[in-house]
Amino acid sequence: MTTSAPSSAPRIGVFDSGLGGLSVLRSIRQQLPAAQLLYVADSGHAPYGERGDDYVCARSLAIAEFLYQQGAQLLVIACNTATAAAATALRARYPDGRIVGVEPGVKPAAALSRNGRVGVMATNGTLRSERFRLLAQAHAAHLDLRLQACTGLAAAIEAGEIDAPAVHERVETHCAALRAQDVDTVVLGCTHYPFVAHHIQAAMGDTVRLIDTSDAVARRTVSLIGAPGAGSAEGPTTATPLAQLWTTGDVATLRGFVHRWLEFPCAFEALAT
């Protein structure tokens, strides 16, 4: 095991409003084991889903600039709300940059639903966005799409204790609304939610399918970065470089969450930006 990436290894910058994007970071590591991962958790300004678009866009631009200064060759916006609010502005500022956003998995949900009733669990910021409206129009016009704004759920997960009563309460409240509408597929439209997918599955029942796009985002990253041996855990790419993580919130909370959920070495720093 190494603590630094070889000079030829790709450097990938990833950011989220907080801890949620670690679900995407985990998938990227699985598919690009030799990449140098740079991650910013903007926990000091979370949750984005309850902020205005201008605020989220300003934060996204500031963090992107920081990650590019650290040598990122590709940027992953590991946040549905930030993608909706800032992806266009980021691509305009960095026209030559490779940028990957995340969107709720409406398209795969449409293909999997048996009864045509699909629930989307997401933040207010994501669901009210023009980007989401166009996504739903393109892939779900034939569906009975039931939107569930999960107020408070990302913030409860952000506290770091995913089995806390506050998390269970929020999950049950939002899932009860979807159960009443007889959905058979639920889209996890926030990168925080995969960390409580087991609670959501239990609340929705075993027959309901959950859609998480973390692996799809990682595959898109692989396709854009063009790394030798990408997606393979065999051969020379088995070295695991130290991932560098920054947070604008509490470093101890980030460290504790990472130690529970990620199985690769990480370094932690506070970030004032």
Residues 21 and 92 in one domain: yes
The pTM assigned to this predicted structure is 0.89
Q: CA 240 to CA 14: how far, in whole Å?
A: 17
Does any domain span residue 186? yes
Give the model's confidence band at 47: pLDDT under 50 very low, under 70 low, under 90 confident, else very high.
confident
What percent of the chain has a predicted confidence (pLDDT) above 70?
Answer: 93
Residues 112 and 239 in one domain: no
Does any domain span residue 155? yes
Q: How many domains does the chain have?
A: 2
Does any domain span residue 1? no
Residues 221 and 186 in one domain: no
Residues 29 and 114 in one domain: no
Does any domain span residue 164? yes
CA atoms within 13 A on the CB side of 218: 23
Q: What's the CATH number where 148 sits?
A: 3.40.50.1860
Q: Quick: pLDDT tens for 165-185.
A: 999 999 999 999 999 999 999
Q: Quick: pLDDT tens for 202-213.
A: 999 999 999 999
Write out the catalytic residue numbers: 79, 190
Inform me whether the pLDDT recorded for 24 exceeds 50.
Answer: yes
Does any domain span residue 6? no
Does any domain span residue 242? yes
pLDDT of residue 5: 52
The annotated binding site for substrate is made up of: 16-17, 48-49, 80-81, 191-192
The annotated binding site is made up of: 16-17, 48-49, 80-81, 191-192
SS3 46: coil
Of 196, 212, 228, which closes a domain? 212
Does any domain span residue 140? yes
Does any domain span residue 5? no
Question: What's the domain range around 45?
Answer: 11-102+215-270
Q: Quick: pLDDT tens for 48-57.
A: 888 899 999 9
Residues 169 and 227 in one domain: no
